[in-house]
Amino acid sequence: MEKNTLIKGLQDKLPWEPFLDHMEREGFFKLSSIMVSKISKSKNYNQLIQSGYVMLVGDPIQASVIRDTSHLHIRPYVLFRPKVETQLRVIVKNSQKFKIPITFAGGKTGLSGSYGNFGIIVDMVDFSSYKEPIKLDLKKSTVRSNQNVLVSDLIKCTLFESKKEFVFPVQPASALKLPVRVGGLIASNASGVTSGKLGSVENWVEKIRVMMPNGTIVEIDKDHPLFMKIIAGNGYFGVILSAVFRLYRPETNLKQAIMYGYNLNLAFKGLQSVLDSKIFPLVSEFVISDENLPGKFSELGGESKKNKKVKWAALIEGSKNNVDKFIDVMKQQAESSWKILTEEEFQDYLQERSSFALLVQTEDKSTDYIAFPGFEDILSEPKNLPDIIETINELFVKHGFHKVIFGYGHINFRKGQGLLLHMRLPVPIQYFYKENEKNLKLICETVFEVIINLKNKFNIKHKAEHSPGPFRIWLEPEFRKLLRKETKNGAAFLNPHLMIFDELLLRKFRVSLDGLQSIDEQLPMSEKNDLFVSAMLLYLSGE
């Protein structure tokens, strides 16, 4: 299989022996399996594992654990788990010195395989810059946080310590269920359930401490030229150590409600009116289904005497004025009902909504499906979504997949940019069995065609909310050009995704590295498709 030759070939070319010897002289200990190696048998095993000085080398079992939720995985050859800045600096500087690709893993909740790497993965879960992981300054309305702090802890701590006077402004729905951490929050410019009113990370982070590829530490703010390279930068241009965020003081006496109805087209028409009217509640989430809403949402509509199925629901929390305006505008456009909720009832629905990240519904009930990401966050004006959903489902059917009948997302995404719909490819679970490369290729071809059609027909950018990971490298020649330049200048870490893509280009066109860029900028669509599919297959096609 090509993966075993191309990626293994790139891995074998790296100077592992001198790198590992040098790291041992720097005080690190090599473990080649879950048992200690000879060099470290004299050390107490538990102390050694917890020291931050361990290098796990070539262990397929432990290396396979370092995965996100994307199905796009590459096992690292070396895995580090540092605890302090001095350890991280040695790792970073020597990865650059020996020209070994390096990536950084945080909460491992991503949907794009961002830190997949055949070289070095640094697991940042134990890394702390400050002994005090969360430090609130209520007089300045700020909070300082280490990069490994769970966002759910930051949300709860802010509410508790401020006696509900402040909230942490960036609240991804996934953070209610998954170990989303602050470093990943910044590196993906995340937003979440409060984005309609409050926007994303870039609107709230004041300062970020970053370790650069040369090991130096800088503190950046919005005026720093690196600011938007670090935010949403996937850790390619520097690794995040800690950050200071502004806090948000919400209105008092918030009102909570849920609206629901029976016609999806009318619902999108109503949501377009909400967007046009610039109504921004603190929280505004929605779920849709052409059959039955899942979970707790399926209980809505019991008062209907016509026995109709509820096909959409919107969760709203905000000032009384905003919630009332939202309801008034929606009910003018869409046949709907609504209920005023207690705060506890609202949180129950919100928790249920946050569990939909990996849920997929199709018209076929005979098999189990995996909700496969790739184009899953679709940002559009609500009025265009019926045509967008129809286009996506037509492409699904064309490639032999079932139509998706379920979606969810954010209303008024990031201060009125549009409605963000989450919708994923329903892949039968058997497609991921071993020796099934034909079906894996079909997944890749379908994802590419959906991305290109959404861009060409509706001007929709892939990965509008989630971290793009290697997708940006696979799809954007200008970004590849920038990354090659910054890597050469020492301003970016050596990137495994770019190395893999460039190796595919070199093998396909038989050119030198110097001639790579001119070919890359003039690729016809057929070649772009072939390279995207070939690259994605390498991450999907087994270990």
- At 543, the pLDDT band (50, 70, 90 cuts) reads very low
* 433 and 286 belong to one structural domain: yes
Tell me what the mean pLDDT of segment 169-191 comes to: 89
- pLDDT value at 207 more than 60: yes
Closest Cα to residue 473, out of 500, 491, 453? 500
Which residues does 500 contact at the CB level (< 8 Å), separation at least 6? Answer: 6, 7, 10, 470, 535, 538
- pLDDT value at 69 more than 80: no
Q: pLDDT at position 3, please?
A: 47
Residue 344: CATH number of its domain: 3.40.462
Distance CA 184, CA 181 (A): 6
| Residue 112 vs residue 300, higher pLDDT | 300
Hey, what are 485's tokens? 């330049």
Residue 184: CATH number of its domain: 3.30.465.10
For 141-152, how does the pLDDT look when each residue is reduced to its tens digit (9 = 90+)?
999 999 999 999
Tell me what the mean pLDDT of segment 263-284 comes to: 93
Instruction: State what percent of residues in the chain have pLDDT above 90.
Output: 65
* 183 and 80 belong to one structural domain: no
Tell me what the mean pLDDT of segment 495-501 comes to: 96
Distance CA 342, CA 114 (A): 39
* 212 and 272 belong to one structural domain: no
Q: Which of 26-35, 86-95, 239-248, 270-279 has the lowest mean pLDDT?
A: 26-35
- pLDDT value at 4 more than 70: no
Domain boundary (62, 91, 123) is at 123
* 146 and 76 belong to one structural domain: no
For 438-459, how does the pLDDT look when each residue is reduced to its tens digit (9 = 90+)?
999 999 999 999 999 999 999 9
- pLDDT value at 71 more than 90: no
- pLDDT value at 36 more than 50: no
Q: pLDDT at position 40, please?
A: 47
Asked, for residue 381, whether it belongs to a domain, the answer is yes
Tell me what the mean pLDDT of segment 73-81 comes to: 92
- At 306, the pLDDT band (50, 70, 90 cuts) reads low
* 419 and 444 belong to one structural domain: yes
Residue ranges making up the domain that contains 277? 255-458
Q: Please check whether residue 247 is in contact with residue 168, taking contact to mean a CB–CB distance below 8 angstroms.
A: yes
* 346 and 433 belong to one structural domain: yes
- pLDDT value at 42 more than 60: no
Q: pLDDT at position 374, please?
A: 79
Name the average pLDDT for the chain.
89
Instruction: State what percent of residues in the chain have pLDDT above 70.
Output: 92
Angle between helices 496-509 and 2-12 (to 10 degrees): 110
Asked, for residue 13, whether it belongs to a domain, the answer is yes
Hey, what are 474's tokens? 């696979």
* 275 and 397 belong to one structural domain: yes
Residue 114: CATH number of its domain: 3.30.43.10
For 361-381, how does the pLDDT look when each residue is reduced to its tens digit (9 = 90+)?
566 665 678 888 877 789 999
Domain boundary (80, 104, 123) is at 123
Domain boundary (203, 227, 246) is at 246
* 31 and 100 belong to one structural domain: yes
Tell me what the mean pLDDT of segment 11-39 comes to: 84
Closest Cα to residue 497, out of 486, 485, 484, 478? 484
* 149 and 79 belong to one structural domain: no
Tokens 């690794």 found at: 239
Asked, for residue 480, whether it belongs to a domain, the answer is no
Collapsed DSSP state (helix, strand, coil) of residue 139: coil
Q: Please check whether residue 236 is in contact with residue 493, taking contact to mean a CB–CB distance below 8 angstroms.
A: yes
- At 279, the pLDDT band (50, 70, 90 cuts) reads very high
- pLDDT value at 422 more than 90: no
Tell me what the mean pLDDT of segment 465-486 comes to: 92
- Concatenating the DSSP letter of every residue in 65-105 gives H---SSS-----SEEE---SHHHHHHHHHHHHHTT--EEEE
Angle between helices 385-398 and 264-276 (to 10 degrees): 130
Tell me what the mean pLDDT of segment 6-14 comes to: 95
Q: Please check whether residue 416 is in contact with residue 369, taking contact to mean a CB–CB distance below 8 angstroms.
A: no
CB count in 10 Å sphere of residue 178: 19
Asked, for residue 528, whether it belongs to a domain, the answer is no
Q: pLDDT at position 103, please?
A: 96
Instruction: Give how many domains the chain has, as a whole number.
Output: 3
Asked, for residue 59, whether it belongs to a domain, the answer is yes
Q: Please check whether residue 409 is in contact with residue 421, taking contact to mean a CB–CB distance below 8 angstroms.
A: yes
* 221 and 283 belong to one structural domain: no
Q: pLDDT at position 309, please?
A: 86
Which residues does 401 contact at the CB level (< 8 Å), separation at least 6? Answer: 425, 426, 427, 446
* 203 and 222 belong to one structural domain: yes
Tell me what the mean pLDDT of segment 389-412 comes to: 90
Q: How many helices (H) and strands (E) does the chain have?
A: 20, 19
Q: Which of 15-19, 76-80, 269-273, 374-378 has the lowest mean pLDDT?
A: 374-378
- pLDDT value at 225 more than 70: yes
Q: pLDDT at position 365, please?
A: 62
Q: pLDDT at position 278, please?
A: 92
* 389 and 299 belong to one structural domain: yes
Question: In 177-302, where does DSSP find H-type helix?
Answer: 182-187, 195-198, 227-230, 264-276
Hey, what are 192's tokens? 């979440």
